[in-house]
Amino acid sequence: MTHLTVEHRISPAAGASAPAAARRWLDEHLAHFGLPKRIGEDARLVLSELVTNAIRHGRPEIDVTLSMRPDRLRIAVRDGGEGLPVLNAAATDALRAGGRGLMIVAATTVDWGVLADGAGKTVWAEIAVG
């Protein structure tokens, strides 16, 4: 499989509907990659979490990049916010609402991280496909 990258911009007005729109966009592109259903389900979950975080904690513009490599699917979400995401140790509290997004990303992917560039940040995650 060759390296393939597709990009998508999420409108700041999308608000709460942004994760669903991003999942629909992802589904359109995953169909071309011929990946197993499990990979698609993991990718949808990870993308939803990253877009939700960008909407809640970031700033416009929000850009999504999907990159297919021979052994990994990379999902990256960039926003203009300066605050960096942190794994929340309190997120394991079953009574707490929210705060589990990055724990879900970490548990679903083989690697994830944050790149800050002074004008925003990109949160990326990679799912093994091999």
Which CATH number covers residue 84?
A: 3.30.565.10
Torsion sign across C-alpha atoms 7, 84, 50, 55: negative
**What's the pTM?**
0.86
- Residue 38 banded pLDDT, cuts 50, 70, 90: confident
Which residues pair with residue 66 across a beta bridge? 6, 75
Cα 68 from Cα 90, distance rounded (Å) = 33
Split into its structural domains, the chain has a count of 1
Is the Cβ–Cβ distance between 27 and 90 less than 8 Å? Answer: no
DSSP 14: G
- CA-nearest of 28, 3, 19, 35 to 77 is 19
pLDDT tens, 115-127?
998 889 999 999 9
Average pLDDT over residues 76-91: 81
Domain span including residue 89? 4-128
66 close to 29: Cβ distance less than 8 angstroms: yes
Q: CA of 58: how far to CAs of 16, 66, 122, 129, in Å?
A: 13, 19, 10, 29
The percent of residues above 70 in pLDDT, for the chain, comes to 85
- At residue 107 the predicted structure's pLDDT band, cuts being 50, 70 and 90, is very high
With cut-offs at 50, 70 and 90, classify the pLDDT of residue 6. confident
